[in-house]
Amino acid sequence: MDVTLKFEREDRDDLHTLIHIIGDVTIHTSPRLREQLKPMYTSKMQEIHVALDQVDFMDSSGIATLVEGLQWSRLTGGRFVLSGLRDNVRDVFSLAKLDTIFDIEDSIA
């Protein structure tokens, strides 16, 4: 159980970025996730890839934060991809009926 959230960002180029989330995404930590993702939501960016393989737990505040990425994707035509979801996290997306709405990949590109 992680009380803090960590990030590792890999910018492939100016248009494509991969961000690894490390820790639990809760009402306590999701504001930090939003801080990290929000600057990426530009009209210039083409793909934001969020790796969740090191996230053990995510609640609705985390999902709400990622919904903002989905909104960016719909608005700009950019790709917002989630990958590497562990069973617990995938289950929450499924309970929220959002597992088919998000662009989810099994492996991290």
Positions touching other proteins (CB under 8 A) are 1, 3, 24, 26-28, 57, 59-61, 63-65, 67-68, 70-71, 87-88, 91-92, 95-98, 101
Q: Which residues of 1-35 are buried (b: 16+ CB within 10 A; e: fewer)?
A: eeeebeeeeeeeeeebbbbbbbbbbbeebbebbbe
For residues 19 and 25, which CB has a smaller minimum distance to other proteins in the complex? 25
Name the minimum Å distance from CB 25 to other proteins: 11
For residues 45 and 89, which CB has a smaller minimum distance to other proteins in the complex? 89
Strand, coil or helix: what is 102? coil
